[in-house]
Amino acid sequence: MGLSAPATRFQRSRNGCLTCKSKRKKCNEKRPICSRCDKADSDCVWPSNPHTLDPWTELVDIRETIHANLLSPSYSTQPDIESNVPETEQTGSSVWPEAHLRTDPGLPVPGFEPTCDRLEGTCLTHYHNPNSTLFDGYRMIDTGNLATSSKLWEFSQEYGPKVIWPPVDDEEKDSFDPEGIMPLIQQSVSTPRVTDDPIFQDVRDFFATFLSRFFYDYAAIHGNLHVRIRRRFGASDTLRQGMLGMAALFRSNYGHSLVPTSMRNYAKKLYQLASHTLQLELENSHISAWTKLAGLWELMNYEYYAGNLSSYYQHLNQAASIVRLAIGSNSIDILKLSGEQTFDLRCFAWCDILSSMALSRPTLLNYESNIHNPPPHGDSADPDKGVEWIFGCPDVLTILLARTSVLRHACVSTEEKVARGREIQQLMQDWQFQPLYSQRSALRVARLAAQEIWRHAAILYVHQSIFKSDSSHPLVKNSVKTIIQIVSTLTPGVNPDCFLSVPYFIAGSFATTTRDRYTLRSRILSSGNEIFLRNLATALDDSWRATDSTGSLTTWSQQHPPRIIF
């Protein structure tokens, strides 16, 4: 006698929630939260009818309002980030008194009020809600409408995020916060202030989630993070829209959404709005050069993570002109720049130097620093000085990289170029970098490893640009080998590894064995989910094919047009 199969509790259905469908689980179709999602404490996402509301008219209204305000002679962003030449180490002063930086984060910052109140109440206020409707073309859609059986779903599974952030596994949660200070940061930035703009919550949430991926030494700024980002958010409309766009971009790259395309399109709309606003602000003589530079850097940062090469390099050239106007000079001494107001200037300097390496061209400005006699009381973990706490490369090494780019294009004899190249290489080999402080020994060791990776990548750059060495050169082989050995000690995809894609790329350009190439290429791709990382991996593939087919080393400088950003 046959036995009938027991009735299942959950039935497969075309009308189940998308969360169960994505996991190929049975759903009992109980709205708003099915039993399975309720038990697993998962987001229960349901299909819904597309909205017919067209928000594009709202964006047009916003643009027209901004345009009218910016072209008005009475308009200016008050107060500007800074209207004067930045103070150097000799003065040690800042446009914002030290008392402001030490103020209780709950207190308002006098004079800094949002400059685009029309944005409140629009679709931007729904940005932080993962279930809210998002921009897609000229209509509103709900992310739940995108079927998991579509080509888009298949594509997202194959090419979608490889790094989940924040980590969900208990074993990986320490990598989210290697310093152990994120609870303090989250408590600080998650507490609403009466003076905060409602949509500023999105920016607070962004920094509370992605700070350790955004700043190399994120502990350096945690004490007054809320005050700084609130001040920056209210400094101009471009900064306001750009910061919202950056938050949306990171969420689209690292979110747990089944199909992040809608969030990515939403980020793009914010970026387009910020780009339009920036052009108006650049034409407004009442806005200081420092505020314009800050807006340019905010958009460049978005373009970097989005992989928008042409816009990134175009804005970099624009920023160079703004910098010359702001400082009244064509030279920058990175070691002497001091003060919160120089943050965007230091970021520009870094981008200029790294872009000169990526594009094989001279730097747009000159970088002159006396590395043998640095200013007193230098601290690589001071957020008001240097670039190491932001990007991870030691400040002295950044200056030596700039010198290498300048030497590469200098009109001197080959003999003199080689002799000066050897001097730079010797400095790179012998320099004792100041270690970044960390409360945890594991992170201190990892940061020492990162400094050594940068050291050997810089040596490889000298050989690539000055000596024209190939992969058989002893020092080249040693540096590639050393980088690969150190890489094995770092956890992939987290701080500090996620800041090392450029050294990995440079080392990969000289790698010859299949194993070494695979190791370095995979480390680039595992650094994060951004498009520029995939562009770096593709550029390596092309250079390796050319090297193997011709028998001579082919590096990124021989690829035209350039397809990478450092």
Q: Which domains does the chain have, with CATH numbers?
A: 13-46 (4.10.240.10), 56-81+93-314 (no CATH), 331-558 (no CATH)
Residue predicted with more confidence, 507 or 36: 507
Residue predicted with more confidence, 409 or 5: 409
Q: What is the pLDDT of residue 562?
A: 77
Q: What is the pLDDT of residue 332?
A: 96
pLDDT category, 327, cuts 50, 70, 90? very high
pLDDT category, 55, cuts 50, 70, 90? very low
CA nearest neighbour of 343 among 298, 393, 303, 392: 298
| Matching residue, tokens 């020492």 | 448
Helix (H) or strand (E) holding 289, with range, is helix 289-306
Q: What is the pLDDT of residue 28?
A: 80
Residue predicted with more confidence, 70 or 100: 70
Q: What is the pLDDT of residue 41?
A: 60
For residue 91, give every residue at least 6 positions away whose Cβ sits within 8 Å of its Cβ, in sequence order, or none: 338
Position 179 pLDDT exceeds 70: yes
Residue predicted with more confidence, 130 or 426: 426
Q: What is the pLDDT of residues 228-272, one digit of tens each?
A: 999 999 999 999 999 999 999 999 888 765 555 678 888 999 999
Lowest mean pLDDT among 16-25, 521-530, 532-541: 16-25
Position 57 pLDDT exceeds 90: no
pLDDT category, 376, cuts 50, 70, 90? low
Q: What is the pLDDT of residue 390?
A: 96
Lowest mean pLDDT among 45-59, 289-303, 442-456, 541-555: 45-59
Position 38 pLDDT exceeds 60: yes
Q: What is the pLDDT of residues 196-231, one digit of tens each?
A: 677 888 898 899 899 999 999 999 988 788 889 999
Dihedral of CA atoms 540, 546, 550, 554 in degrees, nearest 10, equals: -50
**What's the average model confidence in pLDDT over 185-189?**
76
Q: What is the pLDDT of residue 319?
A: 97
Position 108 pLDDT exceeds 80: no
E strands present in 131-275:
134-136, 139-141
Position 566 pLDDT exceeds 50: yes
The answer to whether the beta carbons of residues 400 and 455 sit under 8 Å apart is no
Q: What is the pLDDT of residue 464?
A: 96
Distance CA 397, CA 458 (A): 8
**What's the average model confidence in pLDDT over 98-116?**
33
Position 142 pLDDT exceeds 60: no
Q: What is the pLDDT of residue 82?
A: 43
**What's the average model confidence in pLDDT over 53-70?**
41
Q: What is the pLDDT of residue 430?
A: 94
Dihedral of CA atoms 110, 112, 116, 122 in degrees, nearest 10, equals: -70
Q: What is the pLDDT of residue 416?
A: 96
Q: What is the pLDDT of residue 145?
A: 37
Q: Which residues pair with 140 in a beta bridge?
A: 135
Question: Terminus-to-terminus CA distance in the chain, angstroms?
Answer: 72
Position 93 pLDDT exceeds 60: no
**Token couple for 48:** 């819904």
Q: What is the pLDDT of residue 32?
A: 61
How many CB atoms are closer than 10 A to CB 434?
16
pLDDT category, 87, cuts 50, 70, 90? very low
Q: What is the pLDDT of residue 259?
A: 52
pLDDT category, 294, cuts 50, 70, 90? very high
Position 496 pLDDT exceeds 90: yes
Q: What is the pLDDT of residue 254?
A: 87
Looking at the chain, the whole-number percentage of residues with pLDDT higher than 90 is 53
The answer to whether the beta carbons of residues 532 and 358 sit under 8 Å apart is no
Distance CA 213, CA 285 (A): 36
Average pLDDT, the chain: 78
**Apex 280 CA angle, 269 and 562, nearest 5:** 60
**What's the average model confidence in pLDDT over 287-301?**
97
